[in-house]
Amino acid sequence: MSLSAVVGLAAAGCRSAARAAFGRGSVRCMATVPGATRVARVAGPACLPRAATPAAAAGIWRFNQPLLVAAASASAVRPPTLCQAYSSAAGSGPGSGSGSSPSPARPPAPPITLRLSAVPTPVKLLGFAGLIPFLGTAAGALYMPEAVWLISQTQSVYGCSILSFMGAVHWGLAMASYGDASTNSKRYILSTVPSLLAFFAVAFIPHVPIQLIAEMLGFNALLLGDVVAHRKSLAPPWYISLRIWLTSIVTVCLGVNVYVAYTH
């Protein structure tokens, strides 16, 4: 069945005909009425990511009647293609303009706070548990300054692994297309920078305190990147609050070892 026939079925509001045409388990209908949008499940798990483009919504308002859009399963019709076709179909009705409406502005990101109440409990627990080696090596350097070089070497290796992990968070967010998917290529590239920095610091800087200083710079540069990601809604809103806490504590711990190494 052609895409135009799909839209024809939908425009007529023939849910039963759409179900019969595509088979059970392959259709959802997007019901849009003036001033409100709702999604009604017809059958199965297939779905269309967005109910309507701004142009389609404007056309529906002009027609002043519900318009049902039946979407074939993802294997038959790619959702972006169907979205474009739906926009054209709804915007080409009587009285519609020749141009398309501009895309709505992205809602502003919530303000950055230090509250951790929104952070999922497992993430919070694992995040702060990851501080234990930093805190332990910092305390060891203070109480056993004669072993500060060995302790700092241990801290440097652990910091290298954590810095790599923190950069990989953005790789995962890009894989999941969290936020603006058009930035994914840049996010993939930038997410590898912390691991490369950590590797070169540990492998090619023989002086352990300099390794720790390089990692301090890496953690805080990554925090600035997380602030940018937060403002562009490329990470969960709660993530930046957790990052501020963790990075601050890690920076203090690394700084303690650097101080002890240079004063003893």
Report how far residue 216's alpha carbon sits from residue 221's, in angstroms, rounded to the nearest whole number: 9
Residue 100, Cβ density class (10 Å: 0-12 exposed, 13-18 middle, ≥19 buried): middle
Angle at the Cα of 78 from the Cα atoms of 75 and 80, rounded to 5 degrees: 160
Q: What is the pLDDT of residues 45-54, one digit of tens each?
A: 334 334 444 4
pLDDT tens column, 130-172: 999 999 999 999 999 999 999 999 999 999 999 999 999 999 9
Q: Say whether pTM exceeds 0.75.
A: no
pLDDT score for 110: 87
pLDDT at 74: 37
- In the chain (264 residues long), the average pLDDT of successive 10-residue segments reads 46 43 40 38 38 44 39 39 40 42 60 93 97 97 95 97 95 91 91 95 94 97 95 94 97 98 90
How far is CA 158 from each of CA 16, 18, 19, 148, 255, rounded to the nearest angstrom? Answer: 60, 57, 56, 15, 15
